[in-house]
Structure 1
Amino acid sequence: MFSKLNIKARLLLFVCLVTVVSFSVTVCVISFKAFHSSREETLAYTREMAYRHGGEVGAQIQTAADAARFMAEAMAGLASDGTPPERARLNALLKGVFDKNPDFWAVYTGWEKDALDGRDASFVDTPGSNGEGRYQALWLRGVSGNTLSTLKTYAKDDPKGKWYWIPMTSGHVYVSEPNVYNVGGKDRMLVSIVAPIRVNGKSVGVCGVDYGMDRFAAMVGEIAPMGSGYAALVSNEGKVAAYPSAEAVGKNIRELGMGDKVAAAVAGGEETRFVSSANALGKEAFTVFTPIAIDGCATPWSLAVTVPMDKVLAGARHIRNISILIGVVSVLAMVLVVHLLTGAMILRPIHQVSEGMRDIAEGEADLTKRLAIARQDEIGHLAGWFNTFMGNLHGVISDASRSAREVGKASETLSGISGTLSEATQETEDRVAEVADAARTLSDNIDAVSAAMEQASANVNTVATATEEMTSTITEVAGQAESARGVSETAVRQSTGASEKMGRLDVAAADIGKVTEAISEISEQTNLLALNATIEAARAGEAGKGFAVVAGEIKALSNQTADATREIRERIAGIQQVASESVSEIKGVAGTIRQVDGIIAAIATAVEEQSAATGEIARNISQAAGGIGHVKDNLGESAGLASRISGEIADVNQAAGEINRSSSEVQASAGNLAGLSEGLGGLVVRFKL
């Protein structure tokens, strides 16, 4: 979009942007400084007002504090003289201070037990003394006049007794929080200012006054900074003692939207300031808290002064608005001046040069024309450089005309050469095509032979495999025959051994038979002896009965032995018969095994001869397979050579085709060049040289 603007519009736009930015920055700087200056001036003004009015409020509190301190020091002096002061005299002292200060609502003193004169028991319920006799005098201002009564006593941890215990323990003047008391039949907000009574460096009691907050509220209410601001009086603990809104009096500043930071600054007696909308104005305002210093007081109060920000910044906003107005007027004036100057001093000479150029461009293309130079500024330089450009262009066009004629002649020569080259290339393509056909035929024949050799090689490999399997089988049969031969030999040996053992068994059985015969004879003799013993026992009568019994037992055992011997003899006879039969059968088996061994030996011999013949066949087949492999490798190499020849022929054919196409392109380019030469000549003719 910017590129479509003319020079005048661009200049105006640029000047406007620069001017607007410059004035905007200027206005911002002026406004910032004005706002900053206004804030600083307002801060100084507000602080001055806060400290000034805070001093006025502080003077009132200081008066009460001085009165309390005066009474405390006077009573301490009387108590330290050695002669205890009379309580009536102290009552008169309190009344004198009370009468001289009509702003005091109460004046009082409170002493520890027996700390005044050591005679509390003698003053029970006397004027200024309580039921325990402690001196607790209190002067109150009422409707019917001033009255003397006694103070209430509080435990040390009772919050209501802070007015007494804080100055007693701290030794400093204490300004209490504002509290509501019923005085003269009416609720009033009072503040207690209490000073400790110190005798010999020890706190023995307090003196204090109660000051009405009405006086402070009136003083604070008169403070109106910049006409619409306000002031507030805040106690040390953040309790509002005076405020434009009556509902806020007695509340803590935290309840009014002020944070812990402000409350901490007030409690520490420090100055603090902030901008906030939490105020009685209900809008953004600037607030300054300044401490109110009280001599010897550890719990200072603070006076807050609040100024609305619209008042604070009113002057700065006015300066800003004036600056903006001046900036707008200045920008408009600058635009008008630039508009007039650019039209008269810049655009008009440029238009003159432009008209001269258009006359040359739209006329007869006369390169001999030149612009008139009547200026020495940038416009004159532009016309001079344009004339120089036209002179250089005249030379360039002349050279282009000569070059166009030479290019035309060269294009004709190039066209003839490319035609001759195209014919030669076509003839080469035809010859290459014939060679390619022959190479493909040779490759096909080699492929056929290679396939046949491949089949033969496969058949030979099959036979070789079968031969190898048969050789393996024969070898296995030979091994099995040899194993069977070994087994048969072992069987012969074992049968021979068994036959021998059976013979020895027969002999042993015969020997056992002889032993059994001997045992049988012994049994018969034993039986005979038992019979004789029985006869002798019968002869012996009663004395031989025991021997007869033994002889009977021996006879029974002899009979059992004879029976067992007969049974053994029968068994041995059976064993001898079986052994004889086994020996005969084992001899028959051994003969049969020897026959089998002979047959197996014959089989092993035949298998060895067959294995040797099969091995010879396998070696011959392996040699045949090797020969076929060599033939196959040679055919593969021949096929590879034929394929390479075919590929190279194809490359030659492709190269010839590319040459032919290049020749055609050269011929076409020569034609185009001739056309361009004619066109360039036509363009050059249009210029007047």
Structure 2
Amino acid sequence: MRWNVFNRFFIPTLSTIIIGAGVIMFVAYTSARSALQTEITREMEQASERLAGQIEEWLRNLQLDVLQQSERNITVNVLKNPNDWQGIQTANLALKRLKERYQYVVANIVNLDGMTLASSTAENVGTARYDDRAYFQESLAGKVAISSVIRSRTTGEPVLACSAPVLSEERVIGVFLVSISLNSVTDKFIAPIHIGEKGYAYMLEKDGTFISHPEKERILDQKITDFEFGQDLLAAHEGLFTYVWKGNPKQVYLSQVPLTGWTVAVGADMNDMFSPVAHLRQTVFALTLAMIGGVSLVIWLVAKNLTRPLVRGVAFAKAIASGDIQAELNVRRSDEIGELAIALGGMKSRIQEALRETERLTRTIQAGTLHERGSAAKFQGCWRDLIVGMNGMIDAFMDPFQVTAESLKRIARGDIPERLTHQYAGDFNEIQEHVNGLIDAMNDISAIAEQIANGNLTVAAKERSEQDRLMSALNRMIAALTDVVGMAEEIAAGNLTVDVRERSEHDRLMIALNAMVKRLHEIVISVKAAARNVADGSMQMNLSAQEVADGASQQSAAAEQASASMEQMASNIRQSADNAIQTEKIAMKSAADAQKSGEAVAQTVQAMQQIAKKITIIEEIAQETRLLSLNATIEAARAQEHGRGFAVVAAEVRALAQRSHDAAEEINELTRSSLAVSSVAGEMLAQLVPDIRKTSELVMEITAATSEQSSGSAQINNAIQQLDHVIQQNTATAEEMASMAEQLTGQARQLQIAMNYFKVNDEHWDGDLPEQPEERPHPSDKMMKKIVASQREKSWGRPSQRSVSDLTEPDEYDDQFERF
């Protein structure tokens, strides 16, 4: 579709009307929906909170009624006199009237054991028990309790129990309890609530179980958590909650019953609640469509009348723009559109005159007559400005053309002029910048040539483009001279690895420099290789000598330590022999003591047996005394009034005889226990005596073996001392060889340091000096003095001043020896 004037007028106007109507309709619909939703939410909130308050008040009244009934005298008398059958019958009648009055399912009076003493249902008396119910236990603790909702065993309805303690002298003597059907609460409070046609109320237990719902089959058989949204709804506790039920959006307002923790929910089907708003939306939409159709027809007729002459004017303007100056505009109107047609005709005449003058100026310039100008006096307004502008254009072209020609003429003669500073614009200013660039380049080339002539190679020629051969050749020349100077500096610094390359077969300087570097390179490599071989050989010899010295020193120290350990072992063996002798004496004495203890235990067993016999006699005496007192009591009963005093004395005698009999049995039991323990102790002592004697014999054998070990350890100690003397002689010889090797290594390192001044390329030479072996405390430095002194003392026959414990204790040199 072409976006013409008609479309520009008709479509936006019609779109504005449609959008305005749509916006109005949308705002009206959303406002009505929002207002209705707010009102529904407020109604659900009020209904939910009111319902929760009513149920809370009903529960409070139920607790108060139960508490009052628990305080009645008839309730207290039943619990105080459970055997008063007439009082229980009276209480049953009162409970039955109470059940009918308040529509209870049952009303009971229960004792502390949970047994029903009186009830509104006679069958419950003596049969119904409540000791396993949680609310019964709470009432025993002094609280008025309300149970969870359960299903009645008789009616199948959901019921609720409420119990209160029965007090007498501030002490709980029983419980009064009632159960009431929750259907009465549903019919009274929940069923009357309706939100719209499909909205209703329901009630949940703490765990989400339905305890009240219009669909009776859900009560106590289903939980809200069985549905996808149930867990979130139960977690919300209070406030507005939205969910989807069977494809329909629903909202409920939740409130809590503080006394029981029940959740009261009042909900509505949103499609049902918004149906009036949906009907209003459809009506407004139909009216809007009808209005838009009528307005569109009127706008179409007006737009056609306005755009027809404009279409003709556009065709005329397009013809003029395409160069058809002969085109005509046939529009005869007396309004603004007619005035526009007259103005377009005048514009055509002015364009024709301007074209004729432009053609004349073009022909004169093409003929090379640059002083000719256009006649501006023939025109007015913008057409006059057009001719004046053309004359100015010719003048602006002529001035920079003459200045550029003069500058190029001076450069061609070798006379570099100053930079051009005329104020030009556009392409003329770009031409001037190019000329100034040429002048700057010529000045730079002259300055660089002068610096190179003076020996300054830090200058650089700036290449103006990729085709600037002059500046490129100048830069290559500077780089070549700089490379030659760098090579000479590297060789002077001892670096013989520089890469000297001839730039051509005529480069005599580079050829001679390359030959010199190669000869120096070969000499330095030869000297370095020889120095390295000497250093490696001397270092290896040094390391070998040190290893021999270290091994000898470690062996010497180990031998001395082994000698000290043998002395310590001999001392321990002698001590063990002494301990074995003492152990033998103790074992013999323990055997004698154990035998005496066995005899004492046997005597104790005999004494216990005698005591048991005596106690049996005491039991028989107590039994006889008890029978006599019983006979005396019978005789006193026959004497009736005259034998009462004697009966009392007989009863006391019988009690004393019974106590004597009980005490005798206890003593007899203790005696039998002691006798068994004593018998076991005697048997254990009888077994212990031979074991102790066997232990004494084994200790004597250990003493003999220990003496033999002491003699052998002394012989081993003498052999170790002779080995220590030989090791010390080897240590001294290794020390001398290590000293000579260290001197040779030092001289080789000095030669390597001198030759490392030169840097060469040699794949067999890594350029690093061999590492000097780490100087560490040598055993011959300090420990040798201690070892030699010890050996001298032994060889001269004087005993050493160090004890065995001193030699076995750790000191600062222990880490230098190897452990065996």
TM-score range, shorter chain: 0.3 to 0.5
Q: Which has the larger radius of gyration?
A: 1
Q: TM-score, with normalisation over the residues of structure 2?
A: 0.38
Q: TM-score, with normalisation over the residues of structure 1?
A: 0.45
Tell me which of the two structures has the higher relative contact order, counting C-alpha pairs closer than 8 angstroms and 6 or more residues apart: 1
